[in-house]
Amino acid sequence: MASKRAATTLAYRCTECGWTSAKWIGRCGECQQWGTVVEAATSTGISGPATTPLAPTRSARPITAIDTRETPRRTTGVGEFDRVLGGGIVPGAAILLSGEPGVGKSTLLLDVAAHTAAAGRRVLYISGEESLGQVRLRAERTGALHDELYLASETDLATILGHVDETEPDLLIVDSVQTVASSLVDGSAGHPSQVREVASTLIRVAKERNLPVILVGHVTKDGQVAGPRILEHLVDVVCHFEGDRQTSLRFVRALKNRFGATDEVGCFEQTQHGIAEVPDPSALFLGHGSREPGTCVTVALEGRRALPVEVQALTLPGSGPNPRRVVSGVDSARVAMILAVLEKRAAIRVSDQDVYVSTVGGVRLVEPAADLAIALAVASAVTGRANPAKLVAIGELSLAGEIRAVTQHEQRRTEATRLGYRSMVDTASTDLRGALRDLARLHPREPGDKPTF
């Protein structure tokens, strides 16, 4: 019988995603990246790849014997950020925070660093994009000065590790991972191989020292995290910081979280003194409460958070054969469908009207639950009759004019009740025509009246 002899064969592996090929090609067949397929020698035997078994350092245990106590967390002092993380930072966790340029990532993390330092835990803030003087000026402006907050402006990975050994921090922040390079890997800072090496090294240090690490990541023009996709796989938590530059509202969303849920949203407001938490953002998306024709309130969901949002509509006689349809904060195609349903199913003529629909506070409504509020706001604008005070509308409209139920309906009702809304138009009315008929019978109610939910 022939002996099993190991032979060395040549294969080619993508440095981005690990895809292998028997021959060299210029473009990876999996991730479609150019120039990432390199030669990799593998040792194979007659029965397949030869692997020498090693004695495990720790024996495998039954799943029923695993301790299920919650991993201890450290609060950052920024409640909205802790909410997104699942209650705080887990020791040894690697967190990636991404966002558009200028949205406020560095300002938020400087605030997190200052609150952590104020709690008696040492923080090392590595800035690869700004000088120490620039970071100090921002800290003075936002009130983030503390003796336990250490700063370093470095772009070399080995030097950063030296700072970690010297300061022995309880929290490490690297801003940003695309500006740091390792001398052990070819390529300049930001190259996929450099980003992978830097991230994997920092994460290994985090696990070995039980040191939480927050990495700032750049994004591409499409809003995706720049660099190799493996970066998002390596870290434990991926958060995205988003917001319109024209408004002060900012949201932090968890796209991945090994220690908690991914449907939590943190609300912040950009002020002249930095990033401020908004624990109850309800007032940001509502008007002043005056009963004007063309307004209606709905309750939208941002993650697990229910937020009341006011929809405003304005109609004017059309000046040409093609009336204008201008929207802000809502989907234009959705509004066009709602206008067609209003005219066909509810006999409200809008085909000869210029229609303008907008939300208050710059928030964007993308869920179908806002359909009914948009329809009632437009109907109110056309008829010139204001909707009753303290009215909220929740429901999806079908092309047949039916009002469909939406997700988390009870949570929306609870939030509306908490904010003092006493009337609701929802799936209790079977169709849009019935909802408008029921709405015509509603009158403004006194504060002592019972809710009509």
The answer on 348 and 382 residing in a single domain is yes
> Would you say residue 229 lies in a domain?
yes
Say how many domains are in the chain.
3
pLDDT value at 125 more than 70: yes
Contacts 24+ apart (CB under 8 A), 190-197: 190/218, 190/226, 190/227, 192/15, 192/16, 192/33, 192/36, 192/227, 192/228, 193/15, 195/227, 195/228, 195/231, 196/15, 196/227, 196/228, 196/230, 196/231, 197/157
Cα 75 to Cα 112, 132, 182, 293: the distances in Å are 10, 26, 32, 46
Q: How much is the pLDDT for 282?
A: 73
Q: How many helices (H) and strands (E) does the chain have?
A: 10, 21
> Would you say residue 55 lies in a domain?
no
pLDDT value at 44 more than 50: no
Helices (H), 268-359: 332-345
- Which residues lie closer than 8 Å to 384 by C-beta, 6 or more apart? 293
The answer on 287 and 378 residing in a single domain is yes
Domain boundary among 279, 314, 334: 279
Could you identify the residue written with the tokens 């690990």?
Answer: 18
pLDDT band at 394 (very low <50, low <70, confident <90, very high): very high
Helices (H), 229-276: 230-234
The answer on 223 and 142 residing in a single domain is yes
Adjacent-strand bridge partners of 38: 13
Rounded CA gap, 347 and 90, in Å?
A: 58
pLDDT value at 233 more than 80: yes
Name the pTM for this structure: 0.75
Q: Please, are residues 357 and 377 in contact by the beta-carbon 8 Å criterion?
A: yes
Residue 315 maps to which CATH number?
3.30.230.10
The answer on 319 and 238 residing in a single domain is no
Percent of the chain with pLDDT over 90: 48
> Would you say residue 352 lies in a domain?
yes
pLDDT value at 169 more than 50: yes
Domain boundary among 256, 279, 302: 279
Average confidence (pLDDT) over 17-36: 78
The H or E element containing residue 166 is: helix 157-167
Find, among 17, 85, 12, the residue nearest to 227 by Cα: 17
The answer on 405 and 330 residing in a single domain is yes
Cα 81 to Cα 115, 127, 146, 221: the distances in Å are 12, 21, 20, 25
> Would you say residue 56 lies in a domain?
no
Rounded CA gap, 185 and 197, in Å?
A: 7
Rounded CA gap, 7 and 274, in Å?
A: 62
> Would you say residue 57 lies in a domain?
no
- Which residues lie closer than 8 Å to 410 by C-beta, 6 or more apart? none
Cα 353 to Cα 43, 315, 316, 331, 370: the distances in Å are 74, 6, 5, 19, 21
The answer on 311 and 274 residing in a single domain is no
Kindly report which listed range (31-40, 93-102, 367-376, 394-403) carries the lowest average pLDDT score.
Answer: 31-40
* Residue, of 429 and 63, whose pLDDT is higher: 63
Q: How much is the pLDDT for 34?
A: 77
The answer on 251 and 103 residing in a single domain is yes
Q: How many residues does the chain have?
A: 453
Percent of the chain with pLDDT over 70: 89
Could you identify the residue written with the tokens 């001398």?
Answer: 183
* Host domain of residue 234: 79-279
C-alpha dihedral, 285 to 287 to 291 to 296, nearest 10°: -20
Kindly report which listed range (11-25, 231-245, 329-343) carries the lowest average pLDDT score.
Answer: 11-25
The answer on 127 and 43 residing in a single domain is no
Q: Please, are residues 215 and 94 in contact by the beta-carbon 8 Å criterion?
A: yes
Domain boundary among 227, 246, 279: 279
pLDDT value at 447 more than 70: no
Helices (H), 384-444: 409-418, 432-441
> Would you say residue 267 lies in a domain?
yes
Q: Please, are residues 219 and 231 in contact by the beta-carbon 8 Å criterion?
A: no
The answer on 396 and 265 residing in a single domain is no
Residue 112 maps to which CATH number?
3.40.50.300
One-letter amino acid at 173 equals I
Residue 435: HSE in the Cβ half-sphere, 13 Å Cα cutoff: 34
* Residue, of 196 and 227, whose pLDDT is higher: 196
> Would you say residue 209 lies in a domain?
yes
Q: Please, are residues 420 and 392 in contact by the beta-carbon 8 Å criterion?
A: no
Structure tokens at 161: 């590790």
Q: How much is the pLDDT for 449?
A: 40
Find, among 127, 91, 121, 88, the residue nearest to 107 by Cα: 127
The answer on 436 and 307 residing in a single domain is yes
The answer on 233 and 113 residing in a single domain is yes
> Would you say residue 59 lies in a domain?
no
The answer on 267 and 290 residing in a single domain is no
